[in-house]
Structure 1
Amino acid sequence: MSLSPQFLDELRARTSLSALIGKTTKLQKAGREYKGCCPFHNEKTPSFYVNDDKGFYHCFGCSAHGDAIRWMTDQRGLPFMDAVKELAQAAGLDVPAPDRRTAERAEQAKGLHDVMQAAADWFTAQLGGLDGAAARDLLARRGISDATARAFGFGFAPDSRGRLRTALKEFGDAMLVEAGLLIQVEGKEPYDRFRGRLMIPIRDPRGRVIAFGGRIIGEGEPKYLNSPDTPLFDKGRTLYNLDRAAPASRKANRVIVVEGYMDAIALAQAGIGEAVAPLGTALTEAQLERLWRMVDVPLLCFDGDAAGQKAALRAAHRALPMLEPGRSLAFATLPAGQDPDDLIRSGGPGAMETVLHATQPLVDRLWCAERDAEPLDTPEQRAGLKRRLSDLASQIAEASVKYEYQADFRRRYDEQFAAPPRRAFTPFERRKPGEKWKPPPAPVTADAKAVRAAGIDRVLAKAVLAGLIRHPAEIARHMEVLGSLQLADGALGRLFEAVVDLALEDRALDSDRLVTILASSGFDSVASDLLRADTMPYSFTQSAGDPERARIDLDEAIAIMVARPEVDAALVEATRAMQAKFTDEAFERQVALVREKQALDERLANLCQANEDARAFGPEGN
């Protein structure tokens, strides 16, 4: 169903965002906004702001951002249309009627939902009857309590070709076939798909039954049988237990992906309710996107055997092209030969939590897998490792994440295989044989005290701000660290606040529109001065050039800008401490800080040189 932008704008305008969010999140007035602890990640100091005038919320800690509809879909876990309907009802608006085809599809889906719920009720009744004894024994052997069986809707399909068909005959064979409950073979009577199996309902995010998984009771293949794809059920887009795990994950700030139904159920029975499972296949792109809507770093917890580790690595490779800043995967590995149920039975929930806390980042999993894939005794084998790592990083679409993976893989490779670098001596260490060491001249006291007060290098800050105006889409990615620019006073500080405010209000804002709005807001002079900065020696301040290079260089400049004041201040303190009382420890601390400061200066010089090279040689030189 398509809704007009005008209707959605009216819906947002009639919704008090602070009142909506305030129902579940404690907010307090902060000037023209409201603030509170972010509901999307655990924090003690409020960094979550709600602006009723502009109709959006934003967290400066985890970058969660959206309007009233986004709040309902991300925080409440509702589908888009359900969110719109609930907000419209509260606002006194009528949702526009769907077109005829949409209405027909909705009516068809309603009928199929009725069929699936009727089937679930019938299977549950069979589990409690005489025919369900063997299924009940299986649940008892697996340690599934009666309360858990009721909560998850376990049932039983008798070993019969027609009992379900007879029980649900009022729906008609055609609808039962469409729902995946009967199998239709040309020229023959349709018959029950599930026979002699423990039945596990599969639900959509709203808790409605859309499919079933059936586990064989005795011997036979396949061990698990899922419903086929239907108008209600798309196996590659569905996660088992999502309806129960979504609210649990918001409280726990994590979501755990396990291998199968029974793993998720065992975790829930042990008090770990935020677990989901794919449905007999490797994780798909659609399932990964759904997980990332819940948390930034889903945790995959697969068996420690070869099959489990192979599945984890497939998920790692599939996630690579979709990575974004802050969005990744983590891995926890169960002991070989054990599933969650085995581990919980032998060691209790605490043993499971120990495994879940021993996480491995995605980059570690990829590095270890490639490093251990084959021997690395010869130059050719080591070159093969380097090529495989490069190929992995090249799959990442997002430029800054790709750059970080390339740098990380390069660092790990050098640490393991490169010869140790020759030690460089600082000026403090260069002295003649027999010459007694003397401390460097004491810094001017006033200068030393001014280091922290001076804060960010204003020249670099101007370059960064020029880069942000030329590339407004980068502002949200760096929101947390850019908070330090608020220390800048005068026109620069006011311009920064205006740029950030405008970029957050309109995520699609381009540079030309941003400059136009700034000019109309009284920032014409200072913004124009910055944008004459083709003379600044950085790729991100230029009016033309490689956008990917500019984005990577802007990331680096921001990192240097934020780190430099802290290094300078620490160096002043270290020097003062060494002058007060010389010790080897104090000397080593000062030398380390001098090296760190030199490294930052070299990184900044490299940014300038890279831009000069690009100008000299053109696109190919880049």
Structure 2
Amino acid sequence: MAYFPDTFLDQLKERVDIVDVIERQLPLKKQGRNWIGLCPFHHEKSPSFSVNQEKGFYKCFGCGASGDAIKFVQQTRGIPFEEAIRELAAQAGLPLPQEQRQNPAQAQAKEKRDRLRALLEESKRFFQGQLRAPNGGLARAYLQRRGLTAETISSYELGFAPAGWRNLLDFFGGGDSAIELMLEAGLLVKKEDGSVYDRFRNRIIFPILDSRGRCIAFGGRVLTDEKPKYINSPETPLYNKSEVLYALNRAQERWSRGEMALVVEGYMDAVMLAEHHLTGTVATLGTAVTEQHLKLLWQRTNRIIFCFDGDAAGRRAAWRALERGLQGLQADRHMQFLFLPEGEDPDSLVQKEGVQRFKERANGAYSPMQLMHKVMGEQLDLYTPEGRAAAVHRMRPLITSVADPVLRQLYADDLGHKLGGVSGAQLLYGGESPAPATPAWPGSTPYGEGHAPRFPVRSGGSRRAEWRNTIKNRGGWQPAQKPSWEQEVSSLLLGGEVRGRDFEQALLAQLLNDPRLLLEHQETLSTIQLKNTQLNQLLTELLEVGPDLQHLDQPFSIDQLKDGQSAQLARRILLEEQTPLDDPARELEGCMKTDQLRQLQQEMVAVNARIRQGNAETFKKDFDHLMQLKKDMDRLKQR
């Protein structure tokens, strides 16, 4: 993951006009100092999406979505942070920090990649032209028989490589420099005698694009039943099949709009499903699902449905995907497995049963635990103690690979229940008690004997007094005995009585008691996402009615809230939080700072988990990222 300094991000935000960025996706209308429009993140008939051009942020008062230009591009395009930065920087003509520091070797490598991309783009246009030409008649007839419309053929930029040994080579002139570059791009094959010929001949051509829509390779399918049916470009400086998903550039935009993420085994399957309006489909390219594939998917969606053949090969592929996918699962991530009936592929099944029935099958696909239980039931006799014990031993490495500790325990309990008579502890630890937690970071100080702390929740003024005593002059939550940051996050995420709920309610109480704080901190509050969904909804409603407040020196009027549940929640908060505060503004800032610290802590846990996996290729980047997060946290605490 690339690191972008704060100075660069600030410069980018200054250079980019958020209204211009958003108007590429939806129309906006000027209203006073702001711009308004229909929210792209939820269905609405009257506009509640507001854009502040001067401050460079947006806020929807209907669904609560908010952020800056970078986050808008991420959410609407379904792309990771780094790609959104690159896209906006390119539009603004702002060089990336890495490119500013390129040494001569890096510059030379970049120049070669640019030449390869230009060659592949020109080749793609050649293949597309051949499909439209007279000698592409058989290829057009084949695609028509398969049911592809001209619109889909154009959208996926399909082409045709005519029969012959040097059509593409002659198109580029056949000179030595062209041959050298075409060989490196995988467009030519070199024989033992040194002669060369076109790799793709008499085949339908599927351009393989990266997530930014740039051509990096090709796949070819024969028009008959001859073998091999499919061939792909070899690996090149631009193309590594284990790191690429076919049609990702198109599917990621559909995922951001709520369409299901389907992963199939071949690019023809992906295109055929797109013909049936299932455009959120991607395909692996002749390889099993890899960790890099999963990384690309989790960066863009929180629900993956793998679609495999129902035969033995399909079940093996699903099991490999399960093994690699479990460690990436979290509380808000879902992975399912859909097996096709024997003799069916995705296209034939949709044509036979219809799109709605296919979606129903996908929604009812196997969960990881259901798949584990199914496979164990096929391989072992789960009605005997010996069979169940064997299943426990086989499943333990998989369950323990789940990084999220809550999900790991729930999975163990669920699978143990399915096996019958097996507890989650037995499945995870073999019946032994788990070892007490120990600090994971050098120099950290645990609570007591290494156990996560518990924070009792009290009602009324006593809890408020406790909260006030824990807020130091610099703001934020500062326990008397500081734990390691991993233990802090663990207590935040795992405890039944956690600090997150305390500071969130305290934040809402201060806003209800003093509406002036709501208006003074509107921009910061609009970027906060509270973990408690009811409190988050209440915060959204307060921000929505904030501009209409008239009596700023009086507590907030509950009657201004339209939602009955939010009004009831507000009354309860005002009733419980009755102790007057010495400095409400400072305590509000402490609450907001605590939310920011929590987000940094959660990101640190995720980065540290990657470091522990021991990947030598990404260790330096992850470690630098971790150090930067710690610096950001220190700066935040000192403010």
For normalisation by structure 2, the TM-score amounts to 0.63
1:481 match: 532
Asked if the contact 1:252–1:274 (Cα under 8 Å) also holds between the matched residues in 2, the reply is no
- The 2-side partners of 1:101 and 1:517 are apart by 36
1:104 match: 108
Pairing 1:346–2:352 present = yes
- Name whichever structure is richer in helix by fraction: 1
Asked if the contact 1:343–1:351 (Cα under 8 Å) also holds between the matched residues in 2, the reply is no
| Percent of aligned positions that are identical | 34
Pairing 1:114–2:118 present = yes
1:149 match: 153
Asked if the contact 1:257–1:301 (Cα under 8 Å) also holds between the matched residues in 2, the reply is yes
1:173 match: 179
Deviations 1:326-348 (A, max 9, x none): 12312333322211211222233
- The 2-side partners of 1:58 and 1:403 are apart by 37
1:571 match: none
- The 2-side partners of 1:7 and 1:404 are apart by 42
1:164 match: 168
Q: Give, as a single letter, the amino acid of the residue that structure 2 aligns with 1:344.
A: V
2:70 match: 69
Change in 2 beyond 3 A, CA 1:343/1:102: same
Change in 2 beyond 3 A, CA 1:351/1:2: closer
Q: Give, as a single letter, the amino acid of the residue that structure 1 aligns with 2:531.
A: E
State the SS of the aligned residue for 1:123: helix
Q: Give, as a single letter, the amino acid of the residue that structure 1 aligns with 2:600.
A: A
- The 1-side partners of 2:122 and 2:280 are apart by 27
Task: Give the drift of 1:218.
Answer: 2.5
Q: Which has the higher contact order (CA 8 A, sep 6+)?
A: 2
State the SS of the aligned residue for 2:386: helix
- The 2-side partners of 1:492 and 1:180 are apart by 72
Deviations 1:56-83 (A, max 9, x none): 8899999999764354345335676764
2:410 match: 404
Moved more, 193-202 or 9-18: 9-18
2:129 match: 125
Change in 2 beyond 3 A, CA 1:476/1:104: farther
- The 2-side partners of 1:94 and 1:239 are apart by 27
Task: Give the drift of 1:265.
Answer: 1.0
State the SS of the aligned residue for 2:288: coil
- For residues 263-278 of structure 1, the aligned pairs below 5 Å read 263-278=269-284
Asked if the contact 1:473–1:503 (Cα under 8 Å) also holds between the matched residues in 2, the reply is no
1:362 match: 368
Change in 2 beyond 3 A, CA 1:179/1:518: closer
- The 2-side partners of 1:414 and 1:27 are apart by 58
State the SS of the aligned residue for 2:207: strand
Deviations 1:234-286 (A, max 9, x none): 21111111122122222234321122111111111111211111111111111
- The 2-side partners of 1:127 and 1:201 are apart by 13
Deviations 1:292-327 (A, max 9, x none): 122111222223333223222221111012222312
State the SS of the aligned residue for 2:334: coil
- The 1-side partners of 2:323 and 2:50 are apart by 36
1:239 match: 245
Change in 2 beyond 3 A, CA 1:11/1:321: same
Change in 2 beyond 3 A, CA 1:11/1:153: closer
2:398 match: 392
- The 1-side partners of 2:8 and 2:340 are apart by 50
1:508 match: 600
State the SS of the aligned residue for 1:392: helix
Which of 1 and 2 has greater Rg? 1
Q: Give, as a single letter, the amino acid of the residue that structure 2 aligns with 1:305.
A: D
State the SS of the aligned residue for 1:212: strand
Change in 2 beyond 3 A, CA 1:66/1:390: farther
State the SS of the aligned residue for 1:240: coil
Moved more, 342-351 or 380-389: 342-351
Moved more, 368-377 or 8-17: 8-17
Deviations 1:363-405 (A, max 9, x none): 3222332233221233211111122232221112333332222
- The 2-side partners of 1:348 and 1:10 are apart by 50
Q: Return the match for 1:202 from 208, 212, 230.
A: 208
Q: Give, as a single letter, the amino acid of the residue that structure 2 aligns with 1:489.
A: E
1:285 match: 291
Asked if the contact 1:180–1:228 (Cα under 8 Å) also holds between the matched residues in 2, the reply is yes
2:526 match: none
For normalisation by structure 1, the TM-score amounts to 0.64
Asked if the contact 2:382–2:419 (Cα under 8 Å) also holds between the matched residues in 1, the reply is no
Q: Give, as a single letter, the amino acid of the residue that structure 2 aligns with 1:508.
A: L
State the SS of the aligned residue for 1:295: coil
Asked if the contact 2:460–2:579 (Cα under 8 Å) also holds between the matched residues in 1, the reply is no
Asked if the contact 1:165–1:173 (Cα under 8 Å) also holds between the matched residues in 2, the reply is yes
Aligned residues between the structures: 485
Q: Give, as a single letter, the amino acid of the residue that structure 2 aligns with 1:72.
A: V
Task: Give the drift of 1:45.
Answer: 13
Change in 2 beyond 3 A, CA 1:497/1:163: same
Change in 2 beyond 3 A, CA 1:227/1:93: closer
- The 2-side partners of 1:377 and 1:476 are apart by 37
Change in 2 beyond 3 A, CA 1:403/1:10: same
Change in 2 beyond 3 A, CA 1:58/1:325: farther
Change in 2 beyond 3 A, CA 1:411/1:216: same
- The 2-side partners of 1:36 and 1:496 are apart by 35
State the SS of the aligned residue for 2:354: helix
- The 1-side partners of 2:224 and 2:375 are apart by 37
1:9 match: 10
- For residues 518-557 of structure 1, the aligned pairs below 5 Å read none
- The 1-side partners of 2:29 and 2:489 are apart by 29
- The 1-side partners of 2:189 and 2:333 are apart by 42
2:266 match: 260
Pairing 1:250–2:341 present = no
- The 2-side partners of 1:34 and 1:101 are apart by 46
Asked if the contact 2:161–2:202 (Cα under 8 Å) also holds between the matched residues in 1, the reply is yes
State the SS of the aligned residue for 1:508: helix
Change in 2 beyond 3 A, CA 1:501/1:412: farther
1:612 match: none
State the SS of the aligned residue for 2:370: helix
Pairing 1:302–2:390 present = no
Q: Give, as a single letter, the amino acid of the residue that structure 2 aligns with 1:6.
A: T
- The 2-side partners of 1:380 and 1:117 are apart by 59
Question: Any stretches of 5+ residues in structure 2 without a counterpart?
Answer: 425-457, 471-476, 495-499, 501-529, 536-568, 605-628
